[in-house]
Structure 1
Amino acid sequence: MSAMSSNNWSRRSLFRAAAGMAAAGTLAACGSNNGRGGGSGSGKNLVQYFHAYGEAGTEQAIKKYAKAYTKANVTTQWITGDNFEQKLFAALLTDNAPDLFEFHPQIQLVKSGQVADLTDIISPVKDDFNQADIASHTVDGKIYGVRMIDDPQFFFYRPSLFEKAKVKVPTTLEELIEAGEKLTTSKVKGLFLGNDLTPLERPLIWAAGADTLNEKNEIAYHTDAVVDGLKQLRKVFTSGNLLLGAPADWWDPSAITQGLCAIQWCGMWAMPVMQKALGDDIGIFPFPKVGSAGKPSVYNGGWSMFVNAKGKNVDAAKEFVKWLWIDQKEYQEDWSTSYGFHIPPRTSLAASATKLKTGLPAEGVKLFTDYGHFDNIGWTQAMIAAWDDVMANVVRKNGDPEAALDACDKKVNAELKKLFG
């Protein structure tokens, strides 16, 4: 799951998650963050940028993989704080730009010549990747970026609290709002949807039977059902049943594990921490349908590895990406399932990952398969920021949804014209 356009991280945008992956559980015990002291290789020096994942052990794992590579010295900049995107994009403009970096597929990176074409290294194993991941990284038949993990997001809930309040698992947005009301007590809020509600933007659009953009790269989100969904979220926001200003944001499971809420929007990465804290008293359900034409939705965030096409060592960086994210299946599975649960983008690994075969993780995989939506490479950071404004103006400030969407349309259309003519 996370992000682009310099103001975006400060606004804690969805992307931070789309990103999705950020912090689940205790923060990793970080060693030195200077990124020096990488691989045991000879020859080229390569630098890779990662955002600071929340799951313990992740930094050590990424550095361990790099150290095992013998054809180059690979050092890792482990970027802490909420401004990974700002630091990454600032660095890409300098002589100290990383050779490779993790991010999400966004077409402006391709159009500006920032990311290298990786078709040659991915093509031989293309059929072993989730085809939706291949599609979300493809422009004009060329593949840019290798998906490392898929990160489905959904609602987590406490079955014991549902039983006590005689609440059934919601299948519509109205039912979710009712559940939030019935589950709210003097000590526990019914719902936690993130401190600024931005993670719900795309799930809401899809659950209303709409989309961000259509196949012709035209606006597809401005529908009556989406307007109705925004009005309903405004109702939730003012109901008193919503946890606001939680100690950590939606991507961290602490709101539900500490008993602050009965239902929390979060990602599959946080399952191990929740299970450790709550045992069997945790369940999941997708974003429920909005309106009669809607259907449940799950956002599949995740992170991908890109090669800086403007870097000094493009071929060496591509060789390392191929070695780690295409050839080293053991490391790929370790990365997906040892530090939090993520779905491996490689279908062979997803099929063999034992930790995802039973219980709650298996339910998560099923929701991912049945209701999942992936990144659209044409939905850029500027568009995400425009939708953040809709959420702020309508849900948090009681603005008119049509007026807010009209303003959003202007910004999105200007961006589409710039990108697609």
Structure 2
Amino acid sequence: MSTNPRHILVLFGAPSPEHEVSILTGLQVGHALLERHPHVSLGYVDKAGQLWTGDPLWQVKSYTGKSLPSACSQARLRKDPIKGAVLVQERAKRGLFGSIGHEVVLDVAVLAFHGGDGEGGARQGYLESLGIPFVGSGSMSAALAQDKSMARPVLPVQGHKIAFADALTLQEQAWVNNPDGWVKKIAKLGKEVILKPARLGSSIGVERVSTKPADLRNAIERGFQYDDRLVFEELVSPMIEINCSVRKRPDGSYQASACEQPVASEGALSFEDKYMNQSQGKAGTKMGSKAGSFGQKGNLSGPSQEGAKAGMGAGLDGQGMASLKRLLPAPIEDVWTQRIQDAAVTLAEAFQTSGVVRFDFMVKTSKQGALKELYFNECNTIPGSLSFYLWQESGVTFPDLLDEAIEVAKQEMATRIGRQKPFESNLLKQYVGS
């Protein structure tokens, strides 16, 4: 078996309602990495959970048919006692790796999953078990942040001026057992509430719902199509939404990005607001004037990436979450910007995030628009487009953002492996000798 030089593997897709969003983020990350790294592999996890590799994966059109192009090949990850983490091609077809049994020794993986087990900790745990360094939060942090019903009790409140909307969590079986009782409980939150599936993102399944019994019952039935746990929050109104990204630095500290104010077409942000504006010709991202697709000049093709030719990444910087209409930087007073950035760092420390994350906030306003109170909304451990546009506004290019995140990932895995020392005991010998 021949082995190529070490590679960076971009993992994306996987079973999730946010599957297509993940594809866009994965391609954005892949092309940004190619500006500096010649050996970048795309690892696409399809909706059935199968990992694929191949040159056609660099093109968006490859994902729009009923099946992937024939040049794509199934793949798997394994842990080699000598080589370390290895990406193995399962079957021979002309493509990225060429021949049967060709292996790629991995240096690091960059996670671009959104929602589902890709963002919720399961795949992070798998990579941890293989000893593969990966850009992103660890399994525990990812699982906690993904679950809106579980995250609230562990987050800091005292001394940090971060408010949380009053909320209830409804289990599906509890609803089946006592629907009338739950309708009454939820109605106590107000005439209208925000319904959220506990473990979804991208505003999928999120609704502003009347607590009139008939309306509420219908909304609950819709919500359980997405998750078996629903979160109901009091309506914070009037308000504006402010987002802020946070990255972990090599010295273990956290840094906050510029703040943005997303512009919703109507009320709170919807999936369409976040991801469909580009296709409708409404992209509102302030991209800056730096050279290159992601703020850095570089050749999009590499010696092992014939399929990722220059130009195939064109326009990706304005896709996915980057297509959202936004005010960047957010037009708020400096004191509020600093307050939100401080809150984001505090929450990152509480969640123990890694890589690049994004915290979404609501700021309650007066009827005249004056900012009054800061509310935590949610944590995205793998934000759309990895929030590169927020870091560009902060003077950090996408390639720089990724390079530092990779450095942190390697440090964290080295520390983790270094602590895995065997504990010697004579327990089994005692049984043999008895």
Greater share of helix: 1
- TM-score normalised per structure 1: 0.26
- TM-score normalised per structure 2: 0.25
Greater share of strand: 2
Query: Higher RCO, 1 or 2 (CA under 8 Å, sep at least 6)?
Result: 1
Larger radius of gyration: 2
